Amino acid sequence: MEHLPESQKPISPTQDTPVHDTPSDTEHKESMLGEIIRFSLIALLIVLPIRVFIAQPFIVSGASMETTFSTGQYLIVDQITYHFEEPKRGDVIIFRYPKDPSKFFIKRVIGIPGDTISISGSDVTIINEAHPEGTRLEETYVHSMRPSATITENLGEGEYFVMGDNRDASSDSRAWGVLQRENVVGRAFLRLFPFSKVGAFPGAHDIATEMTL
């Protein structure tokens, strides 16, 4: 009976043998890794500019805008529109808190450049070129506003007067003064949560239609 040398003996299927990648396996894995890296870079290049310049998420916290907005509601902020036009009365905007720019507030624009805002009791009056005698706002969006001392504020270029809809629980222009244009981040564009209140331009209100002569 012929005996084969040890080096020529067939290998039993049950015998453990080291497995080595063939060149094609290695190339395939490198190709997959390259695709993942490329996809990640492309996604980053798309998402980052959108997040920084066009839109970003914002989660409402606090009671200052109730009942228009409540804590936990998820918004998408439009950051591009105000590069081409100015905020309008009634817009719901997100901005950096002037006293601490690391914090973001959500309020409603009440006064714009050129306005004089007069608050007496719970009445808000706007005086400007179109309304030199003043016009009192009929603010249907206001949740609560206790009478307070009279406040008068003249708004110059790039200055806005903002207030929360729940004014008894709002820190706004009545407390810390006018909002400078450079602090405005954008306007509320989409409400994505809760699902029962999903919609575009949530809370937006055309105050001009309520200004009477």
User: Tens of pLDDT along 73-128?
Assistant: 999 999 999 999 999 999 999 999 999 999 999 999 999 999 999 999 999 999 99
Q: What is the pLDDT of residue 166?
A: 97
DSSP 209: G
For 50-192, where are the alpha helices, taking DSSP H only? Answer: 173-176
pLDDT higher than 80, residue 16: no
DSSP 166: B
DSSP 201: S
DSSP 103: S
pLDDT higher than 90, residue 210: no
Domain count, the chain: 1
Q: What is each CA distance from 22 to 25, 28, 29, 34, in whole angstroms?
A: 5, 10, 11, 19
Contacting residues for 210 by C-beta, under 8 A, at least 6 apart: 137, 138, 139, 140
Share above pLDDT 70 across residues of the chain, in percent, rounded to a whole number? 73
| Residues 94, 126: Cα–Cα separation, whole Å | 22
**Domain-embedded: residue 100:** yes
User: Tens of pLDDT along 35-85?
Assistant: 666 655 554 444 444 445 455 789 999 999 999 999 999 999 999 999 999
Q: What is the pLDDT of residue 205?
A: 87
Provide the mean pLDDT of the chain.
Answer: 82
The residue among 113 and 13 whose pLDDT is bigger is 113
Residue 181 belongs to domain with CATH number: 2.10.109.10
Catalytic residue numbers? Answer: 64, 107
**Domain-embedded: residue 16:** no
- The domain of 116 spans 56-210
The residue among 26 and 157 whose pLDDT is bigger is 157
**Domain-embedded: residue 27:** no
Residue pair 165/141 in contact by the 8 Å Cβ criterion = yes
Q: Give the H/E segment covering residue 45.
A: helix 23-49
Residue pair 155/115 in contact by the 8 Å Cβ criterion = yes
**Domain-embedded: residue 135:** yes
Strand 159-163, strand 179-180: pairing: antiparallel
Q: What is the dihedral of CA 65, 75, 52, 186, to 10 degrees?
A: -40
Q: What is the pLDDT of residue 149?
A: 83
Angle in degrees, CA 22, 27, 32, rounded to 5 = 130
**Domain-embedded: residue 38:** no
**Domain-embedded: residue 127:** yes
Provide the pLDDT confidence category of residue 153 given band limits of 50, 70 and 90.
very high
Share above pLDDT 90 across residues of the chain, in percent, rounded to a whole number? 60
What phi and psi values does residue 23 have, to the nearest 5 degrees? -55, -35
Provide the pLDDT confidence category of residue 22 given band limits of 50, 70 and 90.
low
Average pLDDT, integer, range 23-45 = 59
**Domain-embedded: residue 113:** yes
Task: Give this prediction's pTM.
Answer: 0.74
**Domain-embedded: residue 181:** yes
Average pLDDT, integer, range 143-161 = 94
